[in-house]
Each structure stands twice: as structure tokens, then as C-alpha cells.
Amino acid sequence: MEEKQLAFDVISDKRGSLVSLESNRNIPFDIKRLYYIYGTSDQPRGFHAHKALRQVLICVKGSCKILLDDGIEKRVYELNLPNKGILVEKMVWREMYDFSEDCVLLVLASEYYDEKDYIRDYSDFLK
Ligand code: T46
């Protein structure tokens, strides 16, 4: 499995904390897109892999779990800190679940949105 856990520097003072994310510095690609997921329920999300897309997922508020599966091995991670992220490489099946009510999941993506990059069928993914 090629995923990687990332820890970002936190700049804190009496006013609070700040985390800075920069292309090709602490994020290992050119950031072409970012999106965030919130208002989640008990419904899991994901259930796909990407042919080329690389992404970093950061739970900036609350918590959730992510299952990563490279077709050989499955690993589950809990995302629950705004200064920790996970790099999900291409061709890794992902499922997100167990969202806390206040969960805000920020995703930094290496490519623009392209539905053709998705593999949404698990048996196609395994092939
Ligand atoms: C991923 C996980 C972590 C867009 O129009 N633009 C976008 O940039 C994205 C990400 C999605 N969409 C549309 C496509 C669907 O009609 O928004 C709808 C919901 O997307 P989806 O069902 O793919 O959402 P998740 O939470 O299952 O997956 C998302 C990302 O799509 C995916 O790349 O890795 O978050």
C-alpha cells in the first residue's frame, strides 16, 4: 500500500492555530482542486478508486474513518486532527464512514474533477 500519513506544522499562539498547505512542499503535488465534505450522516461515502488522481484528505473538524484497499491489503485509518492528513495514491479503493456529526473533511486533489478517472465498480478495480 502506497498511502502515507502526513503531519503538518501548526503555528499556534494565544489567538489560535494555523496550518499552511503548499503545493510541492508539504503537499506532494500541484494542488489543482480542493473540496470539502460536511453535513455527513451515517451513510458511508467513496466506494471507488481513481486511475490517476492523487489526493490528501484532512479532517479539519470532527472525525471519520477511511478504509484504503490496494486490492491486496486493506487498512483503516481514523482522521481526527486538523494537522494530520493521509495521502491516497492512485489505484487505491477508498470508503469513508463513521463521520462525527461535526465532521468537515477537506480534500486536496492533484487533478481537476473528471468522472472518467473514477473506477466505481469493485470487480473492475480488482482487474
Ligand atoms: C474521493 C473522496 C474522498 C463534482 O462535481 N466535483 C468534484 O470535485 C467532486 C469531488 C465531486 N463532484 C460531484 C460528483 C457527484 O455527483 O459531486 C457528487 C458527489 O461525489 P462522490 O459521490 O464522488 O463523493 P464521495 O464522497 O463518494 O467521493 C469524493 C470524491 O468524489 C472522490 O474523488 O476520493 O471524496
Measured distance between the N- and C-terminal CA atoms of the chain, rounded to whole angstroms = 17
Rounded Cα distance between 59 and 66, Å, is 11
Query: What would you measure as the largest C-alpha separation in the chain, in angstroms?
Result: 53
Q: Which residues line ligand 1 (CB under 6 A)?
A: 33, 35, 37, 45-46, 55, 57, 94, 107, 113
Atom of ligand 1 nearest to the CA of 113: 8
Report the pLDDT value the prediction gives residue 2, as an integer from 0 to 100. 67
Report the predicted TM-score, pTM, of the whole model to 2 decimal places: 0.97
**For atom 23 of ligand 1, which residue has the closest CA?**
46
CB 90 within 8 Å of CB 51: yes
Which of 33, 45, 48, 84 is catalytic? The answer is 48
116 three-state secondary structure: helix
Which H helix or E strand runs over 9? none
Cell digits of residue 2: 502506497
Supply the pLDDT for residue 3: 67
pLDDT at 125: 97
Chunk the chain into consecutive blocks of 10 residues (it has 127) and report each block's average pLDDT, rounded to whole numbers.
Answer: 88 98 98 98 98 98 98 97 97 98 98 98 96
Q: What is the ipTM of this complex?
A: 0.98
User: How many whole angstroms from 118 Cα to the centroid of ligand 1?
Assistant: 10
Helices (H), 1-127: 122-126
**Model pLDDT, residue 90:** 97
Alpha carbon distance 21, 62 (integer Å) = 19
DSSP state of 30: -
Query: Which cell is 5 given?
Result: 500519513
Is the dihedral angle over the CA atoms 106, 120, 5, 62 positive or is it negative? Answer: positive
